[in-house]
Structures are given as C-alpha cells and as structure tokens.
C-alpha cells in the first residue's frame, strides 16, 4: 500500500491529567520515529495554558523527528466527543476549563505551520488507545485475543 508522504507519519499523543506525552510513528511499520516526549500540564489551568502546553509538546516532537507528519492521533480521557473533538469533561477537577471547547479547532490553529499539515486530527478514548497500541505494536501484537485493563484517576 502506498500513502502520500504526509500521511505515512503520525504524531501519537497521550493526554493525561499531569502531563502530555507524544512521539512520531511510522504508520506503515509501526516503528517509533522519535523518542517519547513528556511535558507537564496543569489540568486545572485556564484553557489557553492547557492547549498551549499540548501544542508545544506536539510541535517539539514533530520538529525533532524532522518527518512530514500529516496526522495527529490523540488519546483523550472521557467524557469527550471523540468524533467532533469537543471536551465534555466537567466537575472532576481535571480539564474542567476546556468543557465544551472545540479542542480539534483550537489545536489546529496552534499547530499551523509546524510541519503537521494539512493536519488530520483524530481523537480516541485513552483506554481504547492503550488497548489498540498493545494489539498493533505492543506486547500483545502476536496474540489472537486480548483483555486490556486500565485504571484511571
């Protein structure tokens, strides 16, 4: 299968309550193309600070890889409208200030011109992303059946 250059590489991003982590992945081979980068995030900060921290992390990861990244996959805690990229988190003292915010549009604006374009953003539940990652490229990639268990705060 042949892909246009800008879709072969993706930034994989994990949004956590205390930090954001990212790396660049070759979607053809599953190989990590950059060292994972973790950046602290204050999940109680104003929305602009949270989004700026996420964007800084992604920009640095993409710049370090020097690859034509055209996609960003984000593992995000719920509740979240994963299809539209809108946070529904409220009342849990974590990311309350981004409730109702179009995270996808906000990040696209912040990532414009970082070598991520034209940018496709995809969101998936963080526990589901963990399971998918283990099945596709992790410890369970050669098994037929997997049960993935995550514990959240």
Taking only the tens place, the pLDDT of each residue in 82-95 is 999 999 999 998 99
CB 71 within 8 A of CB 119: yes
The Cα 74–Cα 102 span in angstroms is 14
Is the pLDDT at 4 greater than 60? The verdict is: no
- pLDDT for 96 equals 94
CATH class of 5-137: alpha beta
Residue 2 banded pLDDT, cuts 50, 70, 90: low
- What are the DSSP calls for the chain, one per residue? ----HHHHEEEEEEE-SSEEEEEEEETTT--B-S--EEEE--TTS-HHHHHHHHHHHHHHHHHHHTS-EEEEEEEEPSSEETTTTEE---SSSSSGGGTT-BHHHHHHHHHTTSS--S-EEEEEEHHHHHHHHHHHHSTTTT-S---------
CB 85 within 8 A of CB 104: yes
Taking only the tens place, the pLDDT of each residue in 50-73 is 999 999 999 999 999 999 998 999
pTM, two decimals, is: 0.89
């Amino acid at each position: 299968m042949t892909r246009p250059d800008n879709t072969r590489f993706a930034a994989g991003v994990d949004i956590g309550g205390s930090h954001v982590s990212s790396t660049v992945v070759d979607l053809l081979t599953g190989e990590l193309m950059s060292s994972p980068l973790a950046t602290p995030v204050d999940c109680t900060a104003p929305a602009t600070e949270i989004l700026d921290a996420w964007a800084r992390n992604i920009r640095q990861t993409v710049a370090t890889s020097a690859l034509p990244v055209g996609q960003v996959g984000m593992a995000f805690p719920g509740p979240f409208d994963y299809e539209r990229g809108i946070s529904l988190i409220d009342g849990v003292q974590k990311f309350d200030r981004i409730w109702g915010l179009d995270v996808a549009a906000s990040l696209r604006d912040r990532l414009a011109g970082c070598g991520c374009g034209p940018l496709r953003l995809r969101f998936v539940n963080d526990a589901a992303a963990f399971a998918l990652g283990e099945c596709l490229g992790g410890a369970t990639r050669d098994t037929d059946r997997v049960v993935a268990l995550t514990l959240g705060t």
